[in-house]
Amino acid sequence: MANIDFERTPVARPNETKIFGTVETSVDFAKTFGKDVTLQRALSALQRGPGRFYRDNVIACDGDAADYMFFVVSGVVRSCKVFESGTRNVVAFYLPGDLFGWSDLKHSLSIEAASDTAVLFLKRNALLSLATRNSRVASYLLSATTNQLERAHEHVILNSKTAKCRTATFFKELWVRLGQPKYLDVPMSYQDIADYLGLTIETLSRSITDLERSGLISRVSGRKLLLQNRFALGRMMN
């Protein structure tokens, strides 16, 4: 498939309207790029979407031409690699406001919706040439990339710790990335998290139970958690 399929029909699901009834069709770039009106216009001009995807929909396949970059408007996107054996690795999660996709596709990763999402597509070449003319865009692109590099390095370090420590660190980091809300509403499935942490879902579940017994977190309902003791959590993270 040579192009991103913007028209890919989401699989119909019962709660469709709940999720997508209120999606904004215009995106607010002001948070990241300031109030430069010319710049806003330029960005809007090269944007396509937002595309809307249900959980587990494939946004871009391993093997797709990587002409577009992705900007997450809402929901969570995962970048992952699936092997013939059926095992899967989640390489990264992207949250609203994240821009990614410099090289994820060339190297046979697949971009998928980890929850119901809205994603904006930006033609890479256009973005690049805009960057040569606008230093604010250039430095944003660079910092977005280096942030992801840092995150990837953290990820490597994390995956050589114990299951309990990985789990604690993951929830803490997620909580921070989500803006430190009162309750942590985990937006992706435990299977996704397990594949991100290099654990089985059983081990992840046991680790969560263990963290709860230690009084570090508590389950409120379903995947809604309460981080109980941040200092202890920090110590756990080593």
Q: List residues binding a copy of itself (CB under 8 A).
A: 79, 81, 83, 85, 89, 91-92, 102-104, 106-107, 109, 128, 131-132, 135, 138-139, 141-142, 145-150, 152-157, 159-160, 198, 238
**Comparison of 16 and 36: residue with beta carbon closer to a copy of itself:** 36
Residues in the site for DNA, rule: CB under 7 A?
14-15, 162-164, 189-191, 198-206, 208-209, 219, 221-223
Q: Closest CB to DNA among 100 and 172?
A: 172
Binding partner of residue 156 among DNA, a copy of itself, none, CB cut-off 5 to 8 Å per kind = a copy of itself
In the list a copy of itself, DNA, none, the entry touching 89 (Cβ below 5 to 8 angstroms by class) is a copy of itself
Q: What is the 3-state secondary structure (H, E, C) of the chain?
A: CCCCCCCCCCCCCCCHHHHHCCCCCCCCCHHHHCCCHHHHHHHHHCEEEEEEECCCCEEECCCCCCCEEEEEEECCEEEEEECCCCCEEEEEEECCCCEECCCCCCCCCEEEECCCEEEEEEEHHHHHHHHHHCHHHHHHHHHHHHHHHHHHHHHHHHCCCCHHHHHHHHHHHHHHHCCCCCCEECCCCHHHHHHHHCCCHHHHHHHHHHHHHCCCEEEEECCEEEECCHHHHHHHHC
17 or 83: CB nearest a copy of itself: 83
Closest distance to a copy of itself from the beta carbon of 73 (Å): 22
Could you tell which of a copy of itself, DNA, none binds residue 138, using a CB distance below 5 to 8 A set by kind? a copy of itself
By a kind-dependent CB cut-off of 5 to 8 A, residue 209 interacts, out of a copy of itself, DNA, none, with DNA
| Amino acid identity at 173 | E
- The item of DNA, a copy of itself, none sharing an interface with residue 154, based on CB under 5 to 8 Å by kind, is a copy of itself
Pick the closer one to a copy of itself by CB: 5 or 67: 67
- To the nearest whole angstrom, how small is the minimum distance from the Cβ of residue 34 to DNA? 38
Please tell me the distance from the alpha carbon of residue 87 to that of residue 212, in angstroms, as a whole number: 28
